[in-house]
């Protein structure tokens, strides 16, 4: 099964004990860098650490693409709408969803369709997860969102590898043809990556070269998350309120 299927809405039981408040992990990186794959690997390994259940969810920033007007939809169909610019996202809705989850409230995550470039009816109701992974190209771009994360990971994969993966994925899963993908990539995706995504690497606590292939980095991160979430160690309970302390 493709890792893409798990973005937004999947709820897993992992083997760590329930902390007093939700733990938020942000994951940023360029398109097709392996953000979703890294989340999936971390969760898979956390599940095996011990047997008590915790609810872990992955939410994707892509679920918060804003609605487009008619003119923007026409551009999108030709690969000429800039989906890599911060203005393409419904920032307030994503912030509110994270605030709900951080406050242990349920929240509805919209469902996004890459073929129609629009939100679908309904969405996924997330009910009080203990650990939230939020992944996306610009998850560290907006300060208020960035400051909510207790841990920030940046997946750093070579641009040529990312482009090769993106071509394969967008043809297979997002209904695009090669000309559309390459035109969008060179005119919009790559310049926006350099302008908006890459500069946010400096906010990461951990940079993961090569993404999901980097089993050593993933193993270290898993061990660290496990330590933070263990009530006996009490690390998690002494975490500062990140919204007030970091990068002020
Ligand atoms: P992102 O979430 O950053 O867009 P994904 O994890 O969805 O990236 O990966 C993009 C594409 O590349 C997917 O089709 C995925 O299956 C594939 N992929 C990701 N990591 C690897 C890897 N290490 N080796 C081979 N293919 C990979
Ligand atoms: O999964 P990934 O991080 O690659 O998703 C983000 C990418 O999806 C952006 O680079 C953007 O160009 C692309 N996108 C798209 N069409 C949409 C929405 C997003 O090509 N309708
Ligand atoms: Mg993705």
pLDDT tens digits, 215-238: 999 999 999 988 888 765 544 444
Beta bridge partners of residue 156, listed in sequence order: 209
Q: What is the CA(33)–ligand 1 centre distance, in A?
A: 6
What's the pLDDT score for residue 2? Answer: 28
| DSSP designation for 28 | E
Name which residue sits closest to atom 7 of ligand 2, judged by CA. Answer: 31
Q: Is the pLDDT of residue 136 over 50?
A: yes
CB count within 10 Å of CB 189 equals 26
152 Cβ neighbours under 8 A, 6+ residues apart? 25, 26, 27, 28, 140, 146, 203, 204, 205, 206
What's the pLDDT score for residue 247? Answer: 36
Q: Above pLDDT 90, what percent of the chain?
A: 76
Q: What is the CA(156)–ligand 3 centre distance, in A?
A: 14
ipTM of the complex: 0.99
What's the pLDDT score for residue 58? Answer: 94
Q: How far apart are CA 160 and CA 186, in angstroms?
A: 12
Q: Is the pLDDT of residue 13 over 80?
A: no
Residue 51 confidence class, pLDDT cut points 50, 70, 90: very low
Q: How far apart are CA 218 and CA 236, in angstroms?
A: 20
Q: Which of 24, 15, 16 is nearest to 241 (CA)?
A: 24
Q: Is the pLDDT of residue 187 over 90?
A: yes
Q: Decide: 110 and 33 in contact? Cβ < 8 Å.
A: no
Name which residue sits closest to atom 17 of ligand 1, judged by CA. Answer: 165
Strand, coil or helix: 132: strand
Ligand 1 neighbourhood includes 30 CB (under 6 angstroms): no
Q: Is the pLDDT of residue 139 over 70?
A: yes
Ligand nearest to the CA of 37: 1
Quote the pTM value.
Answer: 0.88
Q: Is the pLDDT of residue 3 over 50?
A: no
Q: Is the pLDDT of residue 114 over 90?
A: yes
Ligand 2 neighbourhood includes 83 CB (under 6 angstroms): yes
Range 185-188, long-range pairs (CB < 8 A, 24+ positions): 187/80, 188/79, 188/80, 188/81, 188/82, 188/83, 188/84, 188/85
Ligand 1 neighbourhood includes 211 CB (under 6 angstroms): yes
By the CB criterion, residues less than 5 angstroms from ion ligand 3 are 36
Ligand 1 neighbourhood includes 213 CB (under 6 angstroms): yes
112 Cβ neighbours under 8 A, 6+ residues apart? 8, 60, 62, 63, 64, 65, 118, 119, 120
What's the pLDDT score for residue 52? Answer: 60
pLDDT tens digits, 62-99: 999 999 999 999 999 999 999 999 999 999 999 999 99
In this predicted model, which residue has the larger pLDDT, 164 or 21?
A: 164
Q: List phi, psi (to 5°) of 142.
A: -90, 120
**How confident is the model over 22-46, as a mean pLDDT?**
96
State the chain's mean pLDDT as an integer: 87
Nearest-5° angle of CA 15, CA 18, CA 24? Answer: 95
DSSP string, 53-104: -EEEEEEEGGGGBPP--HHHHHHHHTT-S-TTSGGGB-HHHHHHHHHHHHTT
What's the pLDDT score for residue 230? Answer: 76
């Amino acid at each position: 099964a493709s890792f893409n299927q798990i973005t937004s809405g999947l709820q897993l039981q992992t083997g760590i004990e329930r902390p007093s408040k939700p733990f938020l992990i942000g994951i940023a990186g360029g398109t097709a860098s392996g953000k979703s794959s890294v989340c999936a690997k971390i969760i898979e390994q956390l599940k095996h650490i011990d047997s008590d259940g915790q609810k872990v969810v992955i939410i994707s920033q892509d679920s918060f693409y804003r609605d487009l007007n008619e003119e923007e939809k026409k551009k999108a169909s030709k690969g000429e709408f800039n989906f890599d610019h911060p203005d393409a996202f419904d920032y307030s809705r994503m912030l509110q969803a994270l605030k709900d989850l951080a406050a242990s409230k349920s929240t509805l995550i919209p469902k996004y369709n890459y073929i129609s470039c629009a939100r679908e009816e309904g969405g996924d109701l997330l009910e009080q997860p203990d650990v939230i992974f939020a992944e996306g190209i610009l998850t560290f771009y907006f300060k208020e969102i960035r400051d909510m994360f207790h841990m920030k990971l940046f997946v750093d994969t070579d641009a040529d590898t990312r482009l090769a993966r993106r071509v394969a994925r967008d043809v297979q899963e997002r209904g695009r043809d090669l000309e559309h993908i390459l035109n969008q990539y060179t005119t919009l995706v790559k310049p926006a990556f350099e302008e908006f995504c890459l500069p946010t690497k400096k906010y990461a606590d951990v940079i993961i070269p090569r993404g999901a292939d980097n089993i050593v980095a993933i193993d270290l991160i898993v061990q660290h998350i496990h330590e933070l979430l263990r009530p006996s160690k009490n690390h998690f309970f002494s975490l500062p309120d990140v919204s007030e302390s970091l990068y002020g």
